[in-house]
Amino acid sequence: MGHRIGRIGFILGDIVFILLSLALALIIRFDFSFSRTLPYWNIILGRLPVLIIIRLWIYYIFGFYNRLWQFASVREALIIALAGSLASSIDYLILHTLHPAGFPRSIIFMAWSLNIFFAGGIRLFLRMRREWAHFAEANKQIVQADLEQAASLDDVHRVLIVGAGEAGVIVARELRAHPEVGQTVVGFIDDDPSKQGYIVAGYRVLGTTLDLSELVRSNNVEEIIIAMPSAPGTVIRQIVRACDGLGVKVLTLPGVYELLDGKVDVSRIREIGIQDLLRREEIRVDLEEIGLYLSGKKVLVTGAGGSIGQELSRQIADFNPGKLILLGHGENDIYEININLQVAFPDLNIIPVIADIRNDERIDWIFSLYKPDVVFHAAAHKHVPLMELNPEEAICNNIFGTWNVACSAKQYGTERFVFISTDKAVNPMGVMGCSKRGAEILIQALAKNSRTKFMAVRFGNVLGSRGSVIPLFKQQIKKGGPVTVTHPDMVRYFMTIPEAVQLIIQAAAMGKGGEIFILDMGKPVKIVDLAQDLIKLSGFEPDIDIEIVFTGIRPGEKIFEELLTAEEGAAATMHERIYVAKGEPLIDDNIQEFLNMCRRFAEDDHEGGRAFVNWIRKITTSKGTDKDMPQSMGKMGGTF
């Protein structure tokens, strides 16, 4: 009802403004001589109903009466000008062209400008009133706060915004509209020479990132907000480095792909995360068309409670599958992702299943019941040191568990099967990597004589996943250190969880069967550099406030990780950052012999793990020595 009354009020107001604009235009045109305006008044009055109806109709077409003008922007101002110009052009045709004696064009022009002024002014006034009311209310809340809160207002943080673009302007306006957050903007810095010295959103552009240190000191800056949501990690890293030793807190906006609803407000400003410092641009895949193969299909995700499995399930849910089957061994994890997806996708048919992939009878029953069209196999044991101590678990879960799921997929007519592998499967040194390589071998062997499209996806370490190095570093920093790094030269390939999941979904669309897909993750990153970055982001100095301790390489680990063996090589695909290994399947008709050997190693509690590693390395690499690994990696590095 309130909206209707407001709409009627706008219509009545516009009628008054139309009359007022014409009257003022006539009076101004004839120097306030009312007698000289009378002939033209007679002309206008005769056509006034038509003029009003046409103008109101144009206003309606341009959406004047279905907008919330308190949220108006420059776009709305342009719409007001365009609608007013079109209506005035029709006024001219009616009053000048159709009147034999002619009608003064100056009156039409003045009426045009007055109409835009009145119609736009009252609407933009609502926007100004909203901002003023918001500001006044915030100040009122501050005044009425208790003594403790009032005392905290003395500690207002002076903020410098990096980036005088659209995001920076929005941040400045939001901070000005929300004084209760205790942040006051001192100005912008931007590397664009054309912006230097100019005022943006009421604040001056004070300099470039080269002036950062001087500006922080001269303006007593306490916080820096990086308002460049589309900037690559290299730029963010450069700014963070420039802030070293300045004693300022560095905040940022989410990445441009995180801002899905297009809204930026103070609640989205957060501390710099390690994902912001990824030493390359994040890889993005256009999933709109690619993911259509999931629409209406029965999709099974194993390991759905894990970091990759949960994100995979969320992204699959966006494509509205017919059924989404969440399979996992840990009931709490499956319960959590099931509840989250039910809230986010209330109409989606979600089926949580608790099962152990090593139980072949249980897996067979699940496939016979649901007959999934697409399977994403993410269930695995992944912790390298733990698997060195428990090799039988790695073999049974990663090899025989994968075999159980893959055989059921083949038997019950699954269209696509995607196995989630790892770069640790390349020239593997430990039990975990060898178990994943063994699973790759089985998948490629099954793909040779199957209607199911079997494929694998191989990628590196995932930032922020459970059990990964970043959460461990954060816990150690929280406790005051030390931060433990195995070796100063230890390097790894890194990717974000969304990147990993997009690659998986992309691979399932591209695969013809038998491929191992690989992501170009850029250059490997030193673990010690990540540790130093995270310590600095937490407000400490490495080896001064928080010590970094080198503990030595653990069993099963390598200093360097690789993405391809020397035998494989890589071929390009339709996606510029995704490659496919060119290696041939290593086993054909002797799958059962391969499984029997794996079973023997799993049953040998004492020497089985090391024997298994030596056996897998022997059948998968032509260079089985540690000395050859850096050479292999060097060849691989030239491929990407």
The Cα–Cα gap between 419 and 619 comes to 21
Report the DSSP beta bridge partners of residue 419.
377, 456
pLDDT, one tens digit per residue, over 77-97 is: 777 778 777 877 777 777 666
51-78: average pLDDT: 71
Helix crossing, 527-537 with 233-242: angle to 10°?
60
Element (H, E) at 526: strand 525-526
Residues 6+ apart with CB under 8 A from 624: 617, 618
Where do the structural domains in the chain lie, given as residue ranges? 2-141, 156-272, 294-637
pLDDT recorded at residue 332:
93
pLDDT average, residue stretch 178-199:
84
> Is 22 or 281 the better-scoring residue by pLDDT?
22
Side chain identity, residue 66 = N
DSSP state for residue 570 in the 8-state scheme: E
Region 543-570: what's the mean pLDDT? Answer: 67
Residues catalogued as catalytic: 424
The most confident of 91-100, 160-169, 210-219, 409-418, by mean pLDDT: 409-418
Q: Tokens in use for 127?
A: 């926007």
Residue 263: what pLDDT?
Answer: 44
Give CA–CA dist 512/444, Å, rounded.
Answer: 12
From the CB of residue 111, how many other CB atoms can be counted at a distance below 10 Å? 28
- Does residue 130 or residue 93 have the better pLDDT? 93
Tally the residues of the chain: 640
Separation CA 189–CA 197 (nearest Å): 10
Assigned superfamily of 156-272: NAD(P)-binding Rossmann-like Domain (3.40.50.720)
End-to-end CA distance of the chain: 62
Model-level pTM? Answer: 0.59
Gap between the Cα atoms of 414 and 410, Å rounded: 6
Which CATH number among 3.40.980.10, 3.40.50.720, 3.30.420.40, 3.90.420.10 corresponds to the domain 294-637? 3.40.50.720
Instruction: Report the C-alpha gap between 438 and 424 in whole angstroms.
Output: 12
What separation in angstroms does the CA of 174 have from each of 80, 162, 168, 492?
25, 15, 10, 39
Confidence of residue 257 (pLDDT cuts 50, 70, 90): very low
Pairwise CA distance, residues 503 & 505, whole Å: 6
Q: How far apart are CA 581 and CA 563, in angstroms?
A: 9
Q: Distance between CA 425 and CA 459 in Å, rounded?
A: 10
Cα–Cα distance for residue pair 462/308, rounded to 1 Å: 9
Judge whether residue 269 has pLDDT over 80: no
Q: Please state the three-class secondary structure of 78-146 as a single string.
A: HHHHHHHHHHHHHHHHHHHHCCCCCCCHHHHHHHHHHHHHHHHHHHHHHHHHHHHHHHHHHHHHHHCCC
CB-facing half-sphere around the CA of 259: CA atoms within 13 A: 17
pLDDT of residue 343: 93
The string of pLDDT tens digits covering residues 567-613 is 444 454 555 667 787 666 677 668 889 999 999 999 886 678 889 98
What's the gap between Cα 45 and its chain centre?
A: 59
